[in-house]
Structure 1
C-alpha cells in the first residue's frame, strides 16, 4: 500500500464515528423517490463545507445535485455518486422486531438496500481521496453526483441526456450487497439490463357528451345527467386487465423480463355522483435489451389508446425513465477488485451478531452463534461470480435485472462494486419460509450492522480514485477497452446514445408518495395512520 492510500485509509478510520452519524441522518430521513428534499440538502451543505462547488437541482431535478472539486492543474476527472431515496412500505425502526417508525403509517418509506449506506459509503471514499490528494499533491478533479429516485431508475438517464457525464474519465458505482453471489465483488460481464417507466394519464374531460344529447329538457347540471361516460377509472381498469392478458404476447416468457404497474391516481373520490375524470397508471418494465424494451412500449401504447377510445377519454403517455443496458469493462473490474482486496471486506462484531440472533429469536428460530451468512465477510472473485450468474441465463443474454448506474458506462469506463452487508441466515429448526423484509430493513439501520459496510466501501472507493489519478496507463487501457466495446468510443457503431432527449423534463409533477405537512401535523405520510392500526397495536 502506498502513502496516498495510507492517508485515505487513516482518514476513514479517523472519521468512523462521524460517518456513522451521517448515515443515521439519511437513514432516518427515509425520503422516497423524487421527494428527497432533506437528504439532498444535507449532501449539498456537507459537500460545500468540504470545499466542493455544488450545482443544486441539476438536470431540472429539485433533489439532484452535481458537485465538483479540483486539486492542482490537469489530471483526470473521476466520478462517483450518492443515492438517498427510500422505499415506500418499508417503514421500520432499527430494532429486532417488526416496528414501523413512530408516528407514521406502516406504509411510510424506509431504506431497504440501503441507499443511505450507499451514499455515505461513496461520500466517505470521495472525501478520503480528497484528503490524500491534498496531502500528496495529486492533481485531478472529483465529480460527485446526487442521484435521486433510483427506485424508479430516474435521475441518471436525465443527467446523461443533458450532458453531465460527458467530461468524466472514469466512474465508480457502489451498492451494498443485496443478493448472493454479488457480495464483496465487482461485476465482470453480466451487468444490469434496461428499465423503462411510463405514466399513462386518462382523462374524461366532457363526461356529459357520452351517448349524445339528452332527450330531457332539464335545468339539471350536465354532470348529473345519465347516461354518463364510463370515465377514467374504467380506462385504467381496462388498461390494467388488457395489459395483463397480453403479458405473454409481449416477449418470450423465458427471456428474463418482467413488468410491474402502479395506480398513481384513481379518480377524485369526493362525490358519489361523478364520473371519474382522471386516472394514472405507471408501468415499469425491465429486459436485457433496448429492442425488447421498445416492443413492450409499443404494446402498452396501443392498449392505452384503445381503452381511451372505449371509455370516452383522452390519453397521454409520459416517460419517467429509459435507461440503457450495462457495458462491461474488465480493466476497471480488475482495478476495483484489487482495491477491494486491499481495503478488505467488512467484518461484523459481537454487537452486530447479537442483534441478528435477536431477530431470529423473535421469528421463532434457535439462532446460531453467528447468525450471518459467511459470504457477507468474504471476498468473491468476479469471474467466478459471473460464471454462477451465467448458469441461469441463456447464452444470448448479456444483462439481467436493471439499475440506472448503467448510464455511466456509456460515457466513461465504469466499475460496479458490491460491498457485503449483514444478511441473516435462516436456521433449519424453524419455519422454512422467506425471512420478512422488516428484518433486512432493521439491519440496515443498526450502526454495528451497517457501519462496517460503509467503512469498507469508503476505503475501496478512495483507493480506486487514487489509482485512476496516478496510473495513467491503467486509465488508458480502460479507454482502449471502452473504445473497442462501443465500436469506436462515444458515437461509435455499437455505442448507444441516451434514450431520453436533452430537453426531457424531470417527472416530478406526478403524485409520488411523500411526506406532507397538514393542520393535522408535520411530516405525515401521505397515507395517514389508520385508527384500526392504533387500536390493535400492530
Structure 2
C-alpha cells in the first residue's frame, strides 16, 4: 500500500468520530476567546488519541496543542473553532430559520476546520507509529481567528519556534490549494473623552465626544479616495455616549478595522487614521486614547508546499459527493442571487458552469481569482514558518461566507464528506514532508527568499495582550 493510501485509510477509519466532533462544536457556537466548551471537546479527542497535550498556549485559556511522535521534523496542523454572532440557524434546512439561544452560529465553518485538522493530525500520528519513523505531528487548536488574532499572540510567544512546516485549510465552495492572498489588518479602539453639559441650558460648557467620533468618521471617509484601492477600512460604534439627546455626551468609543496588502501599507494607513482622530479631538476640545485589540500579517505563499499539496489533491480527486448532497446544495442555491454564485467562481478564477451546485473538480494550481480581501491570523504563522493552506469544498457553490447558509450546511453529509476529503489532503502533504526532507529544505529556501532572511516581526505592539472576554458585538 502506498504511503498516501495508508494515511488516507487512517483518516477514513476515524470519519464518524470526527464528524461527531464537528457537530458537537457546531452545536455549541462560542465567540472570540470564549470557546471553552469547543476547546474542551478538542482536548478530550486529543487525549483519547494519545497526544501529549499542552493547555493555555501563550497564556490563552482556549488555545491548546497536542503532539505525537519523537525526533525528526515538526509538522504543525492548524485548527480553529470560534463562531460568529448573529448567525444562529437550524441545520439542514434551505431557508432562514434562526434557533433560540445566544444568537451565535458557525458561519465560517470553523467547527469543520478544527475537527478536520485534528483528524489529519491523528492519521499522521498513527502513520508515524505504524512505520516506525522519526517525526512529530502537532495539532494547534487556535481560538479567536474572527477578530482576536490568537495565532499572532501564539507566534509571538514562541509556540511555533521549532516548527518545520505548517498546514491548514478552510471550508469553501471549491477544493484546491488556497491562493496565498490576504490583507494585513489591525483593530484599534478610539476612545474620546469630553465634558458633559445640559444640551439646552448650557451647551457652551459641554465638549462633545460624540461630535469628535463623528468628525473622525467623516475624515476617514474622505480619506478613502486617497488610499490604495485594495485597502479596506471599517468601523463600528462600541459606545455612542448614551441615549439622552439633551445631554452633551462626554464619552464615545469606536472600533476601527484597517486592512492593507502588507504591513508597510497598513502602518501608513494606521498613522493617517490616528492623525484624523487627533484632529477630531483638537476640533472638539476633547481627548482621544487608543488601544490596539489585534493585528495580523498578510499571507505568505510557499511554492514547494503548494505543489506538494496540489499533487495530493490530484491523486485523491474531487470530494465524492452524492446526488442527495447535490440536490440539497441546489436548494441552498435558490436562496442566493446569481451574483453570489458568479462571485464565487470569480474568486476562484474558474469558468462558471450553470447548473452545478457542488464542486466536482480540483481548482488548477495557480488559478488567479479575485483574491481574498479578508484577513487571517494564519498570515503570522506563514511569516514565521513555511505554510500552506487548502480550500475544502463543504458547501454549495455561491454560498457567502459569514452567512446563515453556511450554518445551515454545517452538519450536512456533504460538509462531513468535504472535511474528510481535505483531511486526507493535509495528511498526505504532511507524509510527503516527513518522507522527503528535500521538500522541507526547498520550503525553507522559498520562505527565506520571500522574507529576505529577515526574522518575523509581530505587528502587535509589545504591550498588546489577547482581548480575553472581548465580544465582537461590544
* Shorter-chain TM band: 0.7 to 0.9
Q: CA RMSD in A?
A: 3.1
- How many residues end up aligned between the 2 structures? 459
Counterpart in the other structure of 1:258: 232
Q: Map 1:150-165 to 2 at 5 A.
A: 150-152=145-147, 154-165=149-160
Cα shift at 1:126: 0.4
Supply the distance in 2 between the matched residues of 1:164 and 1:372 (Cα, whole angstroms): 46
Distance 1:197 1:362 in 2: 33
Assess if the C-alpha contact under 8 Å between 1:70 and 1:139 holds in 2: no
**Contact 1:54-1:68 at 8 Å conserved across structures:** yes
* 1:127 aligned partner: 122
List per-residue Cα deviations over 1:27-81 (Å, max 9, x = no partner). Answer: 121222232222122222322332333333322333222x132323x20011111
State the SS of the aligned residue for 2:359: helix
| Corresponding residue number in structure 2 for 1:304 | 277
Contact 1:353 1:371 in 2 (8 A): no
Q: 2:285 & 2:176 partners in 1: Cα distance?
A: 54
Matches within 5 A, 1:144-293: 144-152=139-147, 154-178=149-173, 183-187=174-178, 190-204=180-194, 207=196, 227-249=204-226, 251-252=227-228, 255-269=229-243, 274-293=247-266
Give 1:378's aligned residue.
361
CA contact (8 A) 2:359 2:397 kept: no
Which ranges in structure 1 are unaligned for 5 or more consecutive residues? Answer: 212-223, 394-398, 427-433, 515-538
Q: What is the CA-CA distance between 1:363 and the residue it aligns to?
A: 7.7
Deviations 1:240-293 (A, max 9, x none): 2222222213x14xx312111122222345x77655343221111222122221
Give the distance between the partners of 1:228 and 1:49, measured in 2 at CA: 66
Q: 1:505: which partner in 2? A: 465
Superposed CA deviations along residues 485-533 of structure 1, whole A, max 9, x for unmatched, are: 2223x53xxxx5222245531123544339xxxxxxxxxxxxxxxxxxx
TM-score of the aligned structures, taking structure 1 as reference length: 0.77
Equivalents in 2 of 1:484, 1:10: separation in Å? 36
Q: 1:326 aligns with which of 299, 302, 305?
A: 299
In 2, distance between residues paired with 1:50 and 1:503?
A: 37
The whole-number CA distance in structure 1 between the counterparts of 2:336 and 2:440 is 49
Hey, what does 1:460 align to over in structure 2?
A: 425
1:69 pairs, out of 67, 70, 73, with: 67
Kept in 2, the 8 Å contact 1:356–1:371? The answer is: no
Structure 2 SS opposite 1:152: coil
**Is the contact between residue 152 and residue 381 of structure 2 (CA under 8 Å) also seen in structure 1?**
no
Give the Cα separation in 2 of the matches to 1:300 and 1:207: 26
TM-score for both structures, normalised by structure 2:
0.87
Structure 1 equivalent of residue 451 of structure 2: 486
One of 94, 98, 102 as aligned partner of 2:99: 102
Q: 2: distance between equivalents of 1:286 and 1:240?
A: 16
Using a 3 Å threshold, how does the CA distance of structure 1 residues 237 and 374 change in structure 2: closer, same or farther? same
Q: For 1:1-12, list aligned pairs within 5 A.
A: 2-3=2-3, 5-12=4-11
2:437 aligns with one of 458, 462, 472: 472
The CA deviation at 1:174 is 0.8
Alpha-carbon displacement from aligned partner over 1:199-251 (angstroms, at most 9, x marks no partner): 112234x536x99xxxxxxxxxxxx97655243333322222222222213x1
Distance in 2, Cα, partners of 1:364 & 1:282 = 31
1:360, distance to aligned residue in structure 2 (A)? 5.2
| Number of the residue aligned with 2:390 | 417
Kept in 1: contact 2:108–2:401 (CA 8 A):
no
Where do residues 356-375 of structure 1 align in structure 2 (5 Å cutoff)? 356-359=329-332, 373=356
- TM superposition shift of 1:354: 3.2
**Shift in alpha-carbon separation, 1:336–1:364, aligned structure 2, 3 A:** closer
Q: Give 1:124 deviation, angstroms.
A: 0.7
Paired position in structure 2 for 1:350: 323
Partners of 2:448 and 2:83 lie apart in 1 by 36
- Structure-1 separation of matches of 2:74 and 2:153: 20
C-alpha distance in 2, partners of 1:263/1:167? 41
Counterpart Cα distance in 1 of 2:364 and 2:334:
34
Deviation, 1:371, is: 9.2
Label 1:61 to 1:100 Cα distance change in 2 as closer, same or farther (>3 A).
farther
Distance 1:261 1:363 in 2: 27
Aligned mates of 2:104, 2:360 — CA distance in 1: 28
SS of equivalent to 1:109: coil
Q: Does 1:60 align with 2:42?
A: no
> Per the alignment, do residues 362 and 313 of structure 1 end up closer, same or farther by CA in structure 2, a change over 3 Å counting?
closer
The answer for the alignment partner of 2:415 in structure 1 is: 450
The answer (yes or no) to whether the contact 1:56–1:64 under 8 Å persists in 2 is yes
* Contact 1:200–1:281 (Cα < 8 Å) also in 2: yes
Which structure 2 residue ranges, 5 or more long, are not aligned?
A: 339-352
Superposed CA offset, 1:115-168 (max 9, x none) = 111111111100111111122212222222222222226112211222211110
